[in-house]
Structure 1
């Protein structure tokens, strides 16, 4: 299999530059063994990233500032200590914040364009207007204070939050410096930018939605490859071997995992999930959790596979029924989505209908997009099915989701052993309907034993 992927890499590098990544339509049907889509060379990736970033800045920033009634938003990051929001606003060739990077958004009102300013020693492509001359004002925070005084905003948002890391980017040391530089009247105008941060990070623009199904297809293609005889030889291959196959393959393709891939084994007569150096055997139910970052969007997928015993042509009916039960939990969850509901309310609604349907669910779904575990309201946690303060934020439209959950089912062929049928599929909520970006698994992947 290593030779096959080496050949793919050579072919990709020798292909003429692509203007854009492959565009796939969202689908409710997942392909069992999809082909790996073409992957852009680095230069073309940068062009896509910067084009999308410009669209995000042009459209999302004015909308969320006016929605929240904020006329100035001040963001700060230090080199190698990027805060989550600033990290998503750097252009594709800015690998990190430089020294201290300060970004300022100002809405003059009356429908005028929002100013995008950078009070930083180094610019950020053409996305922000440079607004600091160190030779004239050596004190960077004093330059920010002067900029604020010249515009006289009524509310100055900075990122601090007790609840979410996404809105807590302003460090104590930098807040003290900013506060000391500001004239007294402006110190009283500081408010939290927590909701602005979440709204920026959770919102997706049309060009992101256009490319997202193709990014998920890459992940699905790699999972299908991992769960095949090209990677797994029953009786020889370990769970850890498959994990590191993922890592090596991603490196060869110039792709990045946002977490180390997981591979687990459930086996008749064995307690819990086996992993690590456990050798995969015929009759095993395999599970994987796998996510990539590509073009600044993330995927998060969990799939199941069954290793056929000699003479078998399909998985036992009890295992097939377990996956079907998990699909039913998915149906209850996506039916519970409604704009304005909190994550806690969605969780309660979904659990109630799933349990009434005779299912044994655990729901722990989360937003996805700029981060794998993205900004927004969570719908349950694996260790808390009763509501959580982090899930009091309300659901918004035009957001990406990982529909992540499990159901527990007793498998007759395994002596009534209760089995964990985990699933995770990436999806899109348009305000009315949840649609899977590249389908969902409804049948167990089968791996031959010989």
Structure 2
């Protein structure tokens, strides 16, 4: 899972958050994690559990792992936790820890809105209640979602470096498409070229390979995360690719627009340039609104209003999501105040978070859909991608 350096960074970050959250500790309880993944374990343990286990981070700075004896050595190897191994009874080891820590209020991994903060199963929650009821302690149990969102969202220096590596790799592959493309390539053949390059590098795509990359060729291409088909790009139309890779456990996600320039044409048509500029500048409007403390829907509104004021219909999705260990990494969402997004658009943007900024318009040239990756800074944001300023020309002459 996680390297020891990231594990130390993230657990230190969690302890600092706990001190401000009026929680005595953050408890992660999981089991058989190769079957039932717990999204927080890479942040707090760095390993999976075979048998039931717990991680307790406390506001006083303790980092405690309660593991079955066969899991214990892997956890110790990171040099981050106090390890309490057990053989026959997790409950007994847990009671020993409770007697030492004496917590009154613990945060647990459950959330109505954020899947990356909702790893605790109902069965384990009931088991935990039984363990506590059998102890000498009375503990208030609350959602740890605010802690999870901050720790997961605010990227450490090492995490930022890894995401940048994934961004640069994906960007390089998308540039190779421009130089290697052939006019006879279908969407599926374009995707196959991308998959070959990913495999050559020993990497995997950021989401399911059947739709990563998503390729939309020309006016007839199917928009969204559809599987690439047998459509080619007619001269004078555009192709859009949505793609990312996972490198050193961290993801990237970007979209680029290519133009199939007809024979004899030397300039991008004015109509295409105008349409492209509208999409690009709408993303820039969202970028300019992105800073610590704003709510997600405010950033989306800036880009949405820019487009609609120029006569384009509203795009039917949010402007951006967080990226980290997952390509959709939970937390605050840069989206409209629609029921389908729950509370996520009302979250506050934090320094260190990494977001996509993405939107598309359907034009006479095909889908112009752009996506950049940015990181929030102390007073605004910075591009992690090299922002696309013009369509990338596919020259078949």
TM-score w.r.t. the length of structure 2 is 0.87
Partner of 1:351: 304
Tell me: CA distance 1:353–1:281, structure 2 relative to 1, closer, same or farther (3 Å): closer
Does residue 233 (structure 1) correspond to residue 186 (structure 2)? The answer is no
Distance 2:57 2:177 in 1: 45
Deviations 1:37-92 (A, max 9, x none): xxxxxxxxx9x93323322223x11221112121111102222112111134443x
**Cα distance in structure 1, aligned partners of 2:242 and 2:138:** 46
Q: Which among 371, 374, 385 is matched to residue 326 of structure 2? A: 371
Give the corresponding residue for 1:180. 130
Name the residue aligned to 2:37.
Answer: 82
Name the counterpart of 1:73.
Answer: 26
User: What is the match of residue 81 of structure 2?
Assistant: 128
Q: How does 1:391-410 map to 2 (within 5 A)?
A: 391-408=345-362
Give the total of aligned pairs.
379
1:149 to 99, 113, 117: 99
* Partners of 1:277 and 1:419 in 2: CA distance: 16
Alpha carbons of structure 1 residues 186 and 351: separation in structure 2 relative to 1, 3 Å: farther
Residues 296 and 333, structure 2, Cα contact 8 Å, conserved in 1: yes
Paired position in structure 1 for 2:59 = 107
Counterparts of 1:206 and 1:408 in 2: how far apart (Å)? 38
Q: Tell me how large the CA RMSD over aligned residues is.
A: 2.6
With 364-373 and 99-108 compared, the bigger mean Cα shift is at: 99-108
Once residues 322 and 50 of structure 1 are traced to their aligned partners in structure 2, the CA distance between those partners, rounded to angstroms, is: 47
Gaps of 5+ in 2: none
Q: Compared with structure 1, are the counterparts of its residues 370 and 195 closer, same or farther at alpha carbon in structure 2 (3 Å cutoff)?
A: same
Aligned-partner Cα distance in 2 for 1:302–1:424: 5
1:214 offset after TM fit, Å? 3.5
Secondary structure of the residue aligned to 1:398 is coil
Q: Is the 8 A contact 1:117 1:131 kept in 2?
A: yes
Aligned pairs for 1:25-424 within 5 A = 49-58=3-12, 60-79=13-32, 80=34, 81-91=36-46, 94=47, 96-108=48-60, 114-121=61-68, 122-123=71-72, 124=75, 125=77, 126-134=79-87, 138-183=88-133, 186-228=137-179, 230=180, 232-234=181-183, 236-259=184-207, 260-267=212-219, 270=220, 273=223, 275-356=228-309, 360=313, 362=315, 363-380=318-335, 388-408=342-362, 417=364, 419-424=366-371
SS at match of 2:27: strand
Corresponding position of 1:446: 393
Q: CA deviation at 1:128?
A: 1.7
How far apart in 2 are the matches of 1:207 and 1:263?
A: 32
TM-score by length of 1: 0.77
